Structure 1
Amino acid sequence: MTGIIDQSPANGTGVHHSGDPLLVYAVSASRGHDWEGHYECGKRMTSILDALASHGLTPAKHSHEIVELQGINPASETDLELVHTTEHITKMRQKALEEAPCVVADFEEPADNVTYMTKTSYEDALKGIGIAVTLVDQVAAAGKDGKGTKGFGLIRPPGHHATTDAPIGFCLFNNVAIAARHAQERCGLKKVLIVDFDVHHGNGTQDIFYEDPSVLFIDVHQLDVWPGSGQVDETGKGAGQKGTINVPLPIASGDEVAGNCLKRIIAPAARRFAPDIILISAGFDAHWRDPLEQLNFQSATYHKLVSGIRDLADELCGGRLVVLLEGGYSMQGLSEGVCETFQALLKRPPLHPHDADVPSEPLQAAQLALDDVVSLHGLAA
C-alpha cells in the first residue's frame, strides 16, 4: 500500500500551518461501474465534482487548505482479507472476469435496484478501498503532530451493507470496515469509532464488529426500511455488548432531530469510548430530496453533523477523522451534502443554511426514540 503522500500544496505557493484545517481528499475513477438506469451510478460523482468546483472547494482555489491526493495504489487482496473471506474475494474477482455485467447479491432487493458488477467493478472497488486506507494513513500520521488534517474519500461503489462473505445493497466490499481494521492493524490505532448516518442501516458494518469491543458503531438511520436491521435492541454480543448503538428515526425526522442525535447520543458515547480515530460512513440519502426513503435532513444538516463529529475528533483523538462516501441518490441533495461536509471539515459556515419546503418534524416521536437509546446505553448526563 502507498506510504504517506506529500501534503504540500499542489502549486507550491500555499503554506499550511499545523493546527489549521487541511482537507485531504481523493476521488476514485469508477466510470466503468455503471448499470443503466440504476440509482448508484457514475453521475453521482460527476454531480459532486461539479458542485465542488462551482463553490470553489478545490485545490486550484484553496491550495493551502485543500489537497487532492493523486496516484494512490489500489488495495490488494491482502487488504480485503482484513475483513472479507477468501471465498468472497475470489467470487467477486471471478464474476467480474467471467460473468459481468451481472447481478451478484443473493439478498432480496428491489428489482430495479439490484447489486451489480460490470467488467471494471472489481478494480473500481479496489481503487476506492485503496483511497480509504491511504486516507487513514494520512490522518494517522498527521494526528501525531496536530489536529489539522481530515480526510474525505469520494469513492464508489459504496460499502456499508457488504458483509464478510456477501455483496448486498449496491456494496461489494465493506470500505469503512477495511479502513477500521487497517487503522488498528497497520497504524496502531486500537479503538475505532464508526458513525454511519446513511438513511439505510449499515448492516454489514454492524455484523463485522458485533462482537468486537475495540470498535464502537453508531448508526443513525430511518426506522423500518430496507434492509430491515438496526433496531434499538441490536446492541452487540459477547465482548462487544453495548458496542453497537442503533438510532432508528421515525419518518420525516430532519435537522433538529439530527442535532439531538449528535448532542444526546453521538457525543456522549464517543467521549465514553475515547477512540483513537473516527470514521464516518457518509450517506446523503437522508436528505429530503432523496428518492429512496423518507427522512428530511437538510443540506446544512450534514454540516451540523460533520462539524460536531469533527470537534469530537479534535477533542478525543488528535483530530483523526476520515469520511467515506456511501449512499445519496438525489444529485442535488448529494452534491450539496458533500459540499457542506467539505465546509464543515474546513471549519467554514454552511453554504445552504435553510432549505425551502421541508416538512415539519415528528419531534415528540423522535424524542421518545432517542430516550430509548439513551436509557438502553446509559448515556443520560
Structure 2
Amino acid sequence: MKIVYHPDFLQVYTRDPAAAPGRLEPILEELSKEDFEIIEAYPAGWDDLLRVHTERHIQSVVHHGLYNIAALAAGGAMIAAETGLKEPCFAVIRPPGHHASSDSAWGFCFFNNMAVAIEYLRSSRKISSAFILDFDLHYGDGTVNILGNRENITIFNPEATDRRKYIASVEEALSNALPDIIGVSAGFDNHVDDWGGLLTTEDYYTMGKLVFERSREVGCGCFGILEGGYNHQVLGKNVRAFVRGLGGLPPASM
C-alpha cells in the first residue's frame, strides 16, 4: 500500500477549513502506525490541467496565488491514480477538488483533482473506463460537471440518510461496476462527529474494503484521494480505517 504526500500540504494557504492548521497532522500520525510506503507528490503540468479546466480558470487560480498548492494536489492525485493501477494507493492531498468545474470552483476547491487524474490516465491510454465513488458529505458537482457526460465514466454520490442504507447503496453501485479503475473521492465530513453526523469509523473501513474487493473481482485498479473532513479529533482514525479497507487489510484496533 502506498501513500502520496508532500510536506507543502501542511502550509496554511487560505482561511478555510480545508487549509486549517492541524488538519493533516492527525492523518499522518495515524498512517505512520502502518507500514505504508510514502511517495512524494509532484505538481500537475499546465497541459494536465487543461484537459479538464479552461485557460481562464487556471489563470484565475494563478491570480489568487493558489496555483502552486492546487497544482501539487492535482499532481498527487495523478500519482495515486497511476499507482492504483498496480496496487491500492491513497493521496493525502489538499486543497480538495470535487467542487471544481471546468471554468469555476467553490467549496475550498480550485482544481478538480479526481478529474485531472482520470483524464490523465485516459489520455495516456492507461484506462478506457472508470468508476468514481464520492462519499464526501457534499455532492461532488464539479466532478459530475466535468466527467458526467464523458464516455465510460460512472460517478456515484451516495445520498441515503440511514447509515445502513448508505453502505448498502455503495455496495450495490460497486457490484454493477466493470471499470478499468475505481477512484474514490474520500471526504470524511459525514462522520457522526463531523458536519454530517451519519457514518461511523467502521463504515469508512467497510467502504474501503468494498472498493478493494470489487477491484479484485473485476481485475481493475483502485485509489483514493482526500476531500473533506474537518473534525481533527476523528479525521485521522477515519482516514486510517478507510485506507486499511482499501488496502485489503483487516480493521485496526482503535
Q: TM-score range by the shorter chain?
A: over 0.9
Q: Which is helix-richer, 1 or 2?
A: 2
Matched, 1:171 2:109: yes
Classify the secondary structure of the residue corresponding to 1:69.
strand
For the structure 1 residues 94 and 34, does the alpha-carbon distance in structure 2 shift closer, same or farther, using more than 3 Å as the test? Answer: closer
Return the offset for 1:199: 0.7
For the structure 1 residues 52 and 210, does the alpha-carbon distance in structure 2 shift closer, same or farther, using more than 3 Å as the test? Answer: closer
Return the offset for 1:30: 2.0
Q: Within 5 Å, which residues of 2 pair with 1:156-305? A: 156-220=94-158, 248-250=159-161, 253-254=162-163, 256-263=164-171, 265-270=172-177, 274-290=178-194, 292-294=195-197, 296-305=198-207
Classify the secondary structure of the residue corresponding to 1:287.
coil
Matched, 1:88 2:57: yes
Structure 1 unmatched ranges of 5 or more? 1-22, 97-120, 143-148, 221-247, 354-381
CA RMSD, 1 decimal: 1.7
The residue aligned with 1:136 is 81
CA distance in structure 2 between the partners assigned to 1:150 and 1:188 by the alignment:
16
Q: Within 5 Å, which residues of 2 pair with 1:74-153? A: 74-96=43-65, 121-140=66-85, 142=86, 149-153=87-91
How high is the TM-score relative to the length of structure 1?
A: 0.63
Aligned length: 252
Contact 1:198 1:281 in 2 (8 A): yes
Matched, 1:24 2:10: no
CA distance in structure 2 between the partners assigned to 1:344 and 1:137 by the alignment:
19
CA distance in structure 2 between the partners assigned to 1:311 and 1:183 by the alignment:
22
Classify the secondary structure of the residue corresponding to 1:329.
coil
Letter of the 2:160 partner, please give it. Answer: L
How high is the TM-score relative to the length of structure 2?
A: 0.93
Return the offset for 1:34: 3.7
CA distance in structure 2 between the partners assigned to 1:187 and 1:156 by the alignment:
27
CA distance in structure 2 between the partners assigned to 1:287 and 1:333 by the alignment:
8
Aligned with residue 343 of structure 1, among 219, 244, 247: 244
The residue aligned with 1:307 is 209
Aligned with residue 323 of structure 1, among 217, 224, 249: 224
Structure 2 unmatched ranges of 5 or more? none
Return the offset for 1:150: 0.8
Return the offset for 1:125: 1.1
Classify the secondary structure of the residue corresponding to 1:349.
coil
Letter of the 1:126 partner, please give it. Answer: A
Contact 1:24 1:152 in 2 (8 A): yes
Return the offset for 1:207: 0.9
CA distance in structure 1 between the partners assigned to 2:2 and 2:125 by the alignment:
18
Higher RCO, 1 or 2 (CA under 8 Å, sep at least 6)? 2
Letter of the 1:76 partner, please give it. Answer: G
The structure with more radius of gyration: 1
